Structure 1
């Protein structure tokens, strides 16, 4: 769990050359499952890029539907929306840091 395995060489998936790597992760219920990453670039680079992208996806989910619900705002004036977004981002970062601390 938490370790990654990168297969050396190029493999073909549906006729397309790619690199393969995988790891074991825990799902929402805490059960272990496999995560397989298929990429067109170096497998180690792809895993780092995927981790960064997942951080962004998690942030968007938190801002949109899992907590802050920023899309439910009825604000339409650009300056007010910028202020609202700035405040929500500060709150999001605060919650993120508290989560890391805990």
Structure 2
């Protein structure tokens, strides 16, 4: 890894943050949300679609983490490398939950109201 930073610790920390962004973009582009396939036109519309996609990503991660906390993590061992990894990613677990809980706009509004404990009810009633 090349960097112009003087501290290996700082470089490592920044790379870790950057990697989280890359994983987010992977899921948004091709691993669940398929943002590029939406073919949205216009700058404002693209920004809105990106904001919605990131919201869905965050909610999917939230739901996936809750499920893992409740049910545990199923690991798979790659015998060639000895590396263990999740059988199903946190994102995909959470996205599956979101699809079941909020398959349409009315149920998505109820879902958001439930997880925010009704704090934003005035906003949801106008959507």
Q: Per the shorter chain, which TM-score range? A: 0.5 to 0.7
Using structure 1 for the length normalisation, give the TM-score: 0.54
Shift of 1:38: 5.4
Where does structure 1 lack aligned partners over 5 or more consecutive residues?
A: 1-36
Spell out the pairing of 1:73-92 with structure 2 (5 A cutoff).
73-92=38-57
1:45 aligns to what?
10
Spell out the pairing of 1:1-80 with structure 2 (5 A cutoff).
37=1, 39-40=3-4, 41-80=6-45
**1:97 and 1:67 mapped to 2: Cα distance?**
15
Shift of 1:39: 4.4
Shift of 1:82: 2.6
**1:80 and 1:38 mapped to 2: Cα distance?**
37
**1:46 and 1:82 mapped to 2: Cα distance?**
30
**1:74 and 1:82 mapped to 2: Cα distance?**
12
Check 1:39–1:77 CA distance in 2 against 1; reply closer, same or farther (3 A cut): closer
Check 1:39–1:78 CA distance in 2 against 1; reply closer, same or farther (3 A cut): closer
Equivalent residues, number: 66
Shift of 1:54: 0.5
**1:61 and 1:86 mapped to 2: Cα distance?**
15
**2:55 and 2:12 mapped to 1: Cα distance?**
28
